[in-house]
Amino acid sequence: MNWLELSVEVDSEAVEAVAEVLARYGYNGGVVVEPAWTPGGEGPEFSYDTTRPSVLRTYLPLDGQAEETRQRIEQALWHLGQMRPVGPLQTRALQEEDWANAWKQHYTVLRVGERIVIAPSWLDYQPAPADVVLHLDPGMAFGTGLHPTTRLCLRLLEHYTRPGQQVLDLGTGSGILAIAAAHLGAGQVLALDNDPVAVAVAAENVARNGVCDRVTVAEGSLGAGAPMGHWLSGGSGPPEAAAPGDAVPGVGRFDLIVANLIARVLMILAADLAAALAPGGVLISSGILETRTAEVEAAFASAGLRLLERYAEGEWVALVHRRDGH
């Protein structure tokens, strides 16, 4: 799909008013503000510079309506321009390719935990003897190893994966955690995701890492998760195509489950996760904001899981639970 990017330079006091106009016409009501800022000495500090203009952008699908919409925005900005300075409206055609791959040039080899090394599939990497190397192209799926929740899960997988284990990676995204588990010695890994884009990306990454014999990628989820659809859909959608997955896993089967999801979904799935674990099995869960940790822990406790460990990185938390019994 092609897009039209509209941008305009305005002084800091006019930002809100111009953003309001752009939000009225832009795709999904979305507006980008690139404020002027100045670094504050060393490190990550900065302050906004209100003496210089900000750039505002919005996007329109490049279809039959685009030109008419552009003219409306231009008119509305002209009226605002009578009251305070507003720069000319600039336009630029944009292809999805331009941004879908733009981030790749910045992505480098990344070391996580003690042994795991994530190497972008388009870079050469010479591993050290003890390295566990994941060759990865996350494409448009979640999981580059840069996000704190992914890093927490990788470290915990390093610690909890045992040779020959049956592993479930729920919400696999790029497949990063499933592949890590396979490289760390797991017997069989089932990698599930409700997002067909993620399933395709994960399957490619599994093939790239030569672990097809141990990792099965499929569209689907556990019990209550199957009808939820892709998490971007809001999760409460109609139980349409609950694609009665051959993939939907059996009960009491997994020695290790890793679920890097979000708090709400983890709570909905608590009972299903507990049921999917073999007695003595371990659940690694993440994607949990610090503020919601107590709720998730309560849901897991009432599903009969016992908390073993809690780790935090920044405002994100990962939990380790065990299903007791023999």
Q: Which residues bind other proteins (CB under 8 A)?
A: 3, 5, 12-14, 16-17, 19-21, 23-24, 26-35, 37, 39, 42-46, 48, 50, 57-59, 72, 75-76, 79-80, 82-84, 94, 96, 98-100, 102-107, 138, 140-144, 146-147, 173, 231-232, 234, 262-264, 287, 289
| CA 159 from centroid of its chain's CA atoms | 23
Pick the closer one to other proteins by CB: 17 or 224: 17
Total Cβ atoms within 10 A of residue 131: 16
CB 244 to other proteins: min, Å: 27
Q: Cβ-count burial of 241 within 10 angstroms (0-12 exposed, 13-18 middle, 19+ buried)? A: exposed
CB 227 to other proteins: min, Å: 19
Total Cβ atoms within 10 A of residue 132: 21
CB 86 to other proteins: min, Å: 9
Pick the closer one to other proteins by CB: 69 or 165: 69
Pick the closer one to other proteins by CB: 21 or 203: 21
234: left (phi over 0), alpha (psi -120 to 50) or beta: left
Total Cβ atoms within 10 A of residue 146: 12
Q: Report d(CA 13, CA 51) in Å as an integer.
A: 10
Q: Report d(CA 188, CA 161) in Å as an integer.
A: 12
* Spatial contact of 248 and 220, defined as CB atoms under 8 Å apart: yes
CB 93 to other proteins: min, Å: 12
Pick the closer one to other proteins by CB: 89 or 275: 89
Could you tell me which of 6, 36, 37, 2 has the C-alpha nearest to residue 21? 6
Pick the closer one to other proteins by CB: 57 or 159: 57
CB 104 to other proteins: min, Å: 8
Contacts of 268 (CB under 8 A, 6+ apart): 224, 225, 228, 235
Pick the closer one to other proteins by CB: 141 or 268: 141
Q: Report d(CA 287, CA 264) in Å as an integer.
A: 10
Structure-token pair, residue 86: 């507003």
Pick the closer one to other proteins by CB: 27 or 125: 27
CB 176 to other proteins: min, Å: 11
* Spatial contact of 84 and 51, defined as CB atoms under 8 Å apart: no
Pick the closer one to other proteins by CB: 22 or 278: 22
Structure-token pair, residue 217: 């990628």
CB 2 to other proteins: min, Å: 11
CB 110 to other proteins: min, Å: 9
* Spatial contact of 185 and 166, defined as CB atoms under 8 Å apart: no
Amino acid letter at 32?
V
